[in-house]
Amino acid sequence: MNARRGFTLIELLVVIAIIAILIAILVPAVQRVRVAAARVQCQNNLKQIGIALYGYHDANKEFPVGARVDNGLSWRVYILPYIEQNNLFMMFDLGAGAWNGGPNREGPNKMVHALNRILVYNCPSQGNSIAANGSSTLVDGRKTFTSDYHGVAGPKGFNPATGAAYQVNTTPTGQGGFALQGILGRDSKTRFTSFTDGASNTLMVGEVSVWWNGSFLASDGADWVRGVGNGNGMAGCRNVQNAINTPYNGIFNDISFGSQHLGGAHFLLGDGSVRFVRETVALVVYKATASMDGSEVQVDN
């Protein structure tokens, strides 16, 4: 009897087909693990930001300004010492004047510092962390880094508890105005005691990932240093006007919160917890949680 019996072609093909099927089963599983890891990393980033915001509150008896007009900087600059970036923080001159004043936009005090990437400010699911907007590119062509996490400036629209509209500062116009009833907004000064709706019922920071023409852009395209630039565009915080993951409608301050995690976005709440909010949540509930003092009745869902 011949011990060296070979394979037939068909046996070989069947083996290859089975291996192909096994790989087809395995690859999506590996991909799912990667996606889950990115979500956990994103939650952890928000948690770190929450601890930093609370550290700032402990030291200053109030939360940092969301987006400050007189120097154009965002809250992300103010919490740098609390995420172990004190040396970078020391390079900022907080009294250097408005964003567009003189050489301020470029530096030495402002946008040039956004050449430093702060890992905690970017979600790993968002592959691109370069600020896409042309106004965030330095004159010499160097690109700055953006942040995927934005302060919740507050809701816009009708408050069912008071029967009136949520407070919005409409001047200067052109970009959707500035919602006033959130924790981190334009020239905001909130304390823990400002959250009369309850800290665990109020959104503080959320993810932003703009959907445009079939592809995602990093964040809102502005560098992480910027709070308010160009007069009326609020880069550090967002109004809550549309549902999570709504495409960009051309009104900059109303860019919706959103992410590349399937079906919703992560939010840091006023009590320091991090929750995933689904994009199909009732809009009235979403807006109620975006306000810190709207007196709405909260329903969990």
Partner 1 sequence: MRPSRYLTGLACVGALVSLCALTGCGHGGDPNLVHVNGTVTVDGKPIPLGLIVFEPDPARGNSGQQGHADIKDGKFDTRQSHKRVVLGAQVVRITGGDGVNPEPFTPFGNLLFEEHTTQMDVTKDQPPLQLDVPGQKTKKNP
Binding range to partner 1, per CB under 8 A, among 57-65, 181-189, 194-202, 244-252:
244-252
The residue among 112, 104, 46, 22 whose CA lies nearest residue 261 is 46
Q: Which is nearer to partner 1, 63 or 252 (CB)?
A: 252
Using alpha carbons only, give the angle 224, 229, 233 rounded to the nearest 5 degrees. Answer: 95
Distance, in Å, from the CA atom of 270 to the CA atom of 259, rounded to the nearest integer, reads 20
> Quick count: other Cβ atoms within 10 Å of Cβ 1?
3
Q: Which is nearer to partner 1, 84 or 158 (CB)?
A: 158
Inter-residue long-range contacts of 163-166, CB under 8 Å, 24+ positions, other chains counted: 166/287, 166/291, 166/294
Among 41, 281, 293, 298, binds partner 1 (CB under 8 A): 281
Residue 84 CB, nearest distance to partner 1 (Å)? 33
Q: Is residue 301 involved in binding partner 1 (CB under 8 A)?
A: no
Q: Which is nearer to partner 1, 15 or 94 (CB)?
A: 15
Distance, in Å, from the CA atom of 186 to the CA atom of 177, rounded to the nearest integer, reads 10
Q: Is residue 277 involved in binding partner 1 (CB under 8 A)?
A: no
Q: Is residue 285 involved in binding partner 1 (CB under 8 A)?
A: yes
Q: Is residue 291 involved in binding partner 1 (CB under 8 A)?
A: no
Amino acid at 36: A
Distance, in Å, from the CA atom of 30 to the CA atom of 248, rounded to the nearest integer, reads 32
Distance, in Å, from the CA atom of 30 to the CA atom of 100, rounded to the nearest integer, reads 47
Contacts of 79 (CB under 8 A, 6+ apart): 49, 52, 53, 55, 56, 64
Q: Is residue 7 involved in binding partner 1 (CB under 8 A)?
A: no
Q: Is residue 221 involved in binding partner 1 (CB under 8 A)?
A: yes
- Output the CA torsion 287→292→293→298 (10° steps): 60
Q: Is residue 132 involved in binding partner 1 (CB under 8 A)?
A: yes
Q: Is residue 276 involved in binding partner 1 (CB under 8 A)?
A: no
Residue 230 CB, nearest distance to partner 1 (Å)? 6
CA 164 to chain centre: 28
Distance, in Å, from the CA atom of 279 to the CA atom of 264, rounded to the nearest integer, reads 5
Residue 154 CB, nearest distance to partner 1 (Å)? 16
Binding range to partner 1, per CB under 8 A, among 79-87, 146-154, 191-199, 241-249:
241-249
Binding range to partner 1, per CB under 8 A, among 64-72, 116-124, 196-204, 242-250:
242-250
Strand spans (E) along the chain: 149-155, 158-159, 164-165, 168-169, 178-179, 203-207, 210-212, 215-217, 228-229, 233-234, 237-240, 264-269, 274-278
Q: Is residue 171 involved in binding partner 1 (CB under 8 A)?
A: no
Q: Which is nearer to partner 1, 64 or 233 (CB)?
A: 233
The site that binds partner 1 (CB under 8 A) totals a number of residues, namely: 45
Q: Which is nearer to partner 1, 45 or 260 (CB)?
A: 260
Q: Which is nearer to partner 1, 86 or 162 (CB)?
A: 162
Distance, in Å, from the CA atom of 160 to the CA atom of 231, rounded to the nearest integer, reads 32
Q: Is residue 233 involved in binding partner 1 (CB under 8 A)?
A: yes
Residues at the site binding partner 1, with contacts judged by CB under 8 A: 8, 10-11, 14, 17-18, 21, 24, 132-133, 135, 157-160, 163, 173-176, 210, 212-213, 217, 221, 230, 233, 241-243, 246-252, 254, 279-285
